[in-house]
Amino acid sequence: MTATEPLTTQSATGRAGAARPLSYPGPPRRAAPRLLAKLRGDRLGLLADAAAEYGDVIRFRIGPKTLYYFNHPEHAKHVLSDNSGNYHKGIGLAQARRFLGDGLLTSEDKLWHGQRQIIHKAFKRNRLAAFADVIADEADAMVARMDSHVAGPPVDMAEEVARLTLAVLGQALLSSDLTPFAALAGAFDVAQDQAMFDMVTLDLVPPWIPTPRNRRFERAQRQLEDVASALIAERERDYLPGAGDMISLLLDAYRDEPDSRLRHRRLRDELVTILLAGHETTASTLSWTWYLLDRHPEVARRMHAEATEVLGDRKPGHDDLSRLTYTTMVIQEAMRLYPPVWGLPRQATSADDIGGYRVPAGADVMICPYTLHRHPAFWPEPDRFDPERFSAEAAGPAHRYAYIPFGAGPRVCVGSHLGMMEATLVAAMVARRFRLELIPGRAVAPEANLSLRVQGGLPMVVRPA
């Protein structure tokens, strides 16, 4: 199908002339064991292979579960924007509620609207220059650490950048030092792994059974609870009226809640969600950027030249973003190939029609930026890394919803500008000083958890640029 062809190629008419719903293509029921195994081990491969075989609309029937997978930009537009009110968060994120609670990522309806309004205040444009200063300071500290490894032992850049983005989150949004909470990264890894396990096992293992996996999750959950409680207690002790950091905004919003347990739960859920979403997606983007630059040295050289010309030997600021045009293009193309949020699961609250296909109430629906961003009808040579796709002279994607690295519609990522700024400035500061090389023989593969991470880390040799 080309970008100009209709969304459906099958039609049927009832006796009275009304169009009947189209029949779903997809694997037969007997394929369920194979699908379940692939869902557990290669979620991206499952969706990409199915799209190549069956097209833009697929129904997976796996035991008691049925997943409706839509892979056309018009489908994404309908689910995420045009009829977004009919779709709540779905499979995967429903399981993540076990550790995220009802934070911004998982909450719905009136609660979500209120949370969104509170959190949006922390991203006011008049704070962006200060955010840029925090990013530059933390990136400078990371560069200093990397400098000690030049031509020495490899550095796990996935680990380094996660440390950086967590520090930026703490200083910029929370006005808190997160250094004492080194266990956060490990706790989130365990919690995300549990959410994916619950999803692929269809929630068949009750959480109260004392399996090793459940016990690990309980320990991780306690660690997350402890961090959130410590941050709340610290800010309550040092509270300043009118402070614009996110914890203060949340304290202000829930100060009059008469139920103290509910108040703490709301604060805890929001903080845990912010701690996860606020650092992991940018860390993922930067990790994939460095992997792609290693594979495309000509792009790395051009990035180095731009960073040297624009920044000289000084720290960057917010005003430099408009001049780091090629670096921005590189980040955008990295997010096309490896979108930090690879899947946008939804559940239909009422029956719907998507492109002529009937969607029943309660259906699990999947929109997948990873496959949308590689759709051959909208991206020439979709698997090729080419930052020029995002140049001012390029036409851009053939459809607005063919590129949605931050989601779309009312639930588009509230921190998208901060995430782009952070990724661009950090990438430029590293490119100015270093050339990063993946260690020989290292296989790199994506790991599709709640975010799209580099599986097993990214060990790289640091060399002078």
For residue 141, pLDDT beyond 90:
yes
pLDDT, tens digit (0-9, with 9 covering 90-100), for 359-380: 999 999 999 999 999 999 999 9
For residue 94, pLDDT beyond 90:
no
Flag the least confident range among 133-142, 201-210, 274-283.
201-210
For residue 4, pLDDT beyond 80:
no
Average pLDDT across the chain, whole number: 92
Residue among 369, 434, 446 nearest 160 (CA)? 434
Q: Which residues are paired to 57 by β-bridges? A: 70
The stretch 197-221 carries a mean pLDDT of 88
Helix (H), strand (E) at residue 155:
strand 155-156
Q: Name residues whose C-beta falls within 8 Å of residue 378's C-beta, 6 or more positions apart in sequence.
A: 3, 73, 372, 397, 398, 399, 402
For 444-464, letters b (16+ CB in 10 Å) and e give: bebbbbbbbbbeebbebbbee
For residue 106, pLDDT beyond 80:
yes
pLDDT, tens digit (0-9, with 9 covering 90-100), for 176-189: 999 898 888 889 99
For residue 47, pLDDT beyond 50:
yes
Confidence of residue 19 (pLDDT cuts 50, 70, 90): low
Q: Name residues whose C-beta falls within 8 Å of residue 12's C-beta, 6 or more positions apart in sequence.
A: 19, 20, 22
Ordered domains of the chain (ranges, CATH): 29-464 (1.10.630.10)
| Under 8 Å between Cβ of 250 and 122 | no
Confidence of residue 199 (pLDDT cuts 50, 70, 90): confident
Confidence of residue 252 (pLDDT cuts 50, 70, 90): very high
- Tokens 């829930």 locate to 254
Pairing assessment for the beta strands 344-348 and 87-89 based on DSSP bridges = antiparallel
The stretch 353-363 carries a mean pLDDT of 97
Spatial distance between the Cα atoms of 111 and 119, rounded to a whole number of angstroms: 12
The stretch 257-285 carries a mean pLDDT of 94
* Predicted local distance difference test score (pLDDT) of residue 308: 98
